[in-house]
Amino acid sequence: VSALVALQSCQCLAWKPRPVVAWGAESQHVVAGYSDGTMRVFSISRTEMELKMHPHAAALTAIAYSTDGEMILSGDKDGLVAVSSPRTGMTIRVLGDHKGSPITVLQCTRKQYYDFGVEGGELWLATSLDRRVSVWASDWLKDKCELLDWLSFPAPASPEGLCSLPPSLAAFCPWEHGTLVYVGFGMQKEALFYSLRKKQVVEKISLPYFATSLSLSPAARFMAVGFGERLLRLLRCPASDAQDYTGHDDTVHLCRFAPSGRRLLTASHSAILLWELTGG
């Protein structure tokens, strides 16, 4: 799909999840968030824009589909999170809990309410640049959205030698249910595994630098971490093995495992690399 949006830059993208029954089928829709606060849904098969929504007054910085593809979550540079329906084009909820700091990550995962004693068929998280992570349980069809946990990670008062702070990034752990992984500027250079059940950090993995990108494999216990030092680290968790790779020309600002877990896409300023994972 090639779409020209005058005077606006695309800030974030998300593929619509494919139906569980359609094994082997590719998603036919993608949503894009723009610098003017709009988001647009594009049809891949028809190569055209299907819907334009304007849920934000500020530039979008993160976007994600709900696990069933029925809702779109979007976050902006002012810290607002909107929940919109691509069926109706209406924004059904705006959350201001992170107001004042740009949203860096939005992610949804399929969970049942009995996992944590709250109602909802889905968990989702929002992360903002000020090192805060909120975790929510939602049932969009019943208009239910409940805050499950609120995390705030400490950091030194005055960073030295950093021209800009590294991003705050969080992701649900695919192989350890009820756990999320967090990286960001803090007291130590590390990845933190936080248990939503125990309400505490249960594991810490030391890193050589502050991370600039993060991805967890959905198929195996692998974690990819990118750094501003043109380095990519692949970790087998628990942290028994770590491999470092060079090849990027600048900050590794994107890591993304394929749904199969067998391939990893990484990107820097002018290089996109595709990695093939071998072994178990």
Confidence at residue 201, expressed as pLDDT on a 0 to 100 scale? 96
Reduce the DSSP state of residue 113 to 3 states and report it. helix
* Contact present, 1 and 44 (Cβ < 8 Å): yes
Across the 280 residues of the chain, what is the mean pLDDT of every consecutive 10-residue run?
A: 63 84 64 95 88 96 95 97 95 96 95 71 94 94 91 81 81 93 95 94 94 94 94 86 88 91 90 82
Confidence at residue 6, expressed as pLDDT on a 0 to 100 scale? 58
Angle at 128 between CA 125 and CA 131, to 5 degrees: 100
**What residue ranges do the domains of the chain occupy?**
10-16+28-276
Q: Count CB neighbours of 259 within 10 A.
A: 12
State how far the Cα of 186 lies from the Cα of 198, in Å rounded to an integer.
Answer: 22
Angle at 182 between CA 177 and CA 185, to 5 degrees: 175
Confidence at residue 118, expressed as pLDDT on a 0 to 100 scale? 74
State how far the Cα of 47 lies from the Cα of 44, in Å rounded to an integer.
Answer: 5
Confidence at residue 7, expressed as pLDDT on a 0 to 100 scale? 64
Q: Which amino acid is at 23?
A: W
Nearest to 212 by CA among 163, 157, 156: 163
pTM of the full structure: 0.90
Tell me the CATH number for domain 10-16+28-276: 2.130.10.10
Q: Which amino acid is at 103?
A: I
